[in-house]
Amino acid sequence: MKLYFAPMTCSLSSHIVLRELGLPFELIRVNNHSKRTADGRDFREINPKGYVAALSLDNGEVLTEGPAILQYLADQVPQHKLAPANGTWERSRLQEHLNFISSEIHGASAPLFNNEIPESIKAIFKQTLFKRLDFISQTLAPQDYLMGTFTVADAYLFTVLQWLPTFNIDIENWPVLATYIKHIAERPSVRSAIAAEQATHPV
């Protein structure tokens, strides 16, 4: 497998999960602006959508969209229990978490990366994001992880919460989330994924 990634993007969650599962893979960096890959290709030939993550399988298939990639990977090594079994109530709950993170936290963060949007407008987006952070903080208050044990949803949530300092949002305003991030950051898979991405050369 090949994981196409860009630093500080949602592709980190797939990278973390690959390392959690111990699956063999090749890490290929993508320049988000030029759309060139570290191995000299036009990334849009791999993923016409033009953004990471993309997972290229050995059979030639390419899977995109973080929640889909995360669930696919978890199902390759079910004994690691990074996702409940398909068809169970717990799997539906996991998908609920993934969709909430994708649409309400990841999606709500997207406009904040745009330097052309005035700060007064960004403030409106931030207020919506703060409500979502309040909710997820309440969810995590009685437990260490979204599903009680570490799953792919935690890899995804950890990744998007890492963006908050970029938006001048202090995670310490949500002590539960601050503790959650510190806890997950200690996982060997997270440390090794971040180190590996930092060690790659810019494209």
DSSP class of residue 6 equals -
Confidence class for position 194, pLDDT limits 50, 70, 90: very high
For residue 183, the model assigns a pLDDT of 98
For residue 90, the model assigns a pLDDT of 98
Note the pLDDT tens digit of each residue in 81-135: 999 999 999 999 999 999 999 999 999 999 999 999 999 999 999 999 999 999 9
Confidence class for position 66, pLDDT limits 50, 70, 90: very high
Conformational region of residue 129, where left means phi above 0, alpha means psi within -120 to 50, and beta covers everything else: alpha
For residue 112, the model assigns a pLDDT of 97
For residue 115, the model assigns a pLDDT of 93
* Angle at 136 (CA atoms; ends 130, 139), nearest 5 degrees: 145
Is residue 40 helix, strand or coil? coil
Confidence class for position 76, pLDDT limits 50, 70, 90: very high
> Is-cis flag, bond preceding 53, omega within 30?
yes
Rounded Cα distance, 118 and 26, in Å: 39
* Angle at 38 (CA atoms; ends 188, 189), nearest 5 degrees: 5
Kindly report the average pLDDT of the chain as a whole number: 97
Confidence class for position 12, pLDDT limits 50, 70, 90: very high
Give the mean model confidence (pLDDT) for residues 27-34.
97
DSSP class of residue 202 equals P
Please give the torsion angle defined by the CA atoms of residues 91, 92, 98 and 99, in that order, rounded to the nearest 10 degrees. Answer: 160
Conformational region of residue 5, where left means phi above 0, alpha means psi within -120 to 50, and beta covers everything else: beta
- In terms of DSSP H, where are the helices of the chain? 11-21, 43-46, 66-76, 89-100, 107-109, 119-140, 152-161, 175-185, 188-199
Note the pLDDT tens digit of each residue in 151-180: 999 999 999 999 999 999 999 999 999 999
| Token pair for 6 | 């860009």
Helix pair angle (66-76, 11-21), 10° resolution? 0
**Closest to 147 in 3D by CA, of 191, 64, 85, 105:** 85
